[in-house]
Amino acid sequence: MFTGIVSDIGEVLEVEQQGDLRARIGTRYDVAGIDIGASIASDGVCLTVIATGTAPRNWYDVQISAETVSKTNLSRWRAGTRVNLERALKVGDELGGHIVSGHVDGVAEVVAVVPEGDSLRVTFRAPRDLARFIAPKGSVALNGTSLTVNEVDGTDFGINFIPHTQKATTWGDVAVGDRVNLEVDTMARYVARLREWE
């Protein structure tokens, strides 16, 4: 489990198709403290560490199944791609964002980016089957970042990115046309499921 509070901006160092997709991600994390089999949310996708190393910089390797590639934007990863990283929660960690599973529901598209003072107002278009789970003042995880929804209009929804979020994550690079990993709030998913049984 994760909270959507990004703790490092990693960089994709290598991507290779080896049956499954295999990626090497550079990080500032101390890889001596990362166990093989550990989970790291990489752009919001819970991935299992299969190898680590320190040369020429700290890195970890992951394998990505075809199912994961089909539900996320990871097919666009190339050497040099910057990614939001978060280590899995430990007992006693602060829950600063919201509960995030790292199981991406689909891909949203950036349809507008408008500066508002020092902040950015970004409008996203969600897949139609996921839009019903997104509500004003509710939570979503986008590329692994816990965010509050400002407004919703059909399948479109708006998020405000303050300067800190732009600097501490990859959101400072956002552009129209970007495709981003979307995980809807777990509570919204369960409420919708319960209503189906009413």
User: Please, what are the domains in the chain?
Assistant: 8-87 (2.40.30.20), 106-195 (2.40.30.20)
pTM higher than 0.75: yes
Q: What is the pLDDT of residue 89?
A: 79
Question: Which band of pLDDT confidence, cut at 50, 70 and 90, is reported for residue 4?
Answer: very high
Per residue in 131-142, pLDDT (tens digit) is 999 999 999 999
Cis check: omega of the bond before 163, within 30 degrees of 0 = no
Encode burial over 115-139: b for 16+ CB neighbours within 10 A, e otherwise: eeeeebbbbbebeeebbebbeeebb
What residues form DSSP beta bridges with 21?
17, 64
If residue 158 lies in a helix (H) or strand (E), which one and from where to where? Answer: strand 156-161
Q: Which two tokens stand for residue 191?
A: 């409420």
Per residue in 67-97, pLDDT (tens digit) is 999 999 999 999 999 999 999 977 666 777 7
How many other C-beta atoms lie within 10 A of the C-beta of residue 30?
10
- β-bridge pairing 39-42 and 45-53: antiparallel
Question: Which band of pLDDT confidence, cut at 50, 70 and 90, is reported for residue 198?
Answer: low
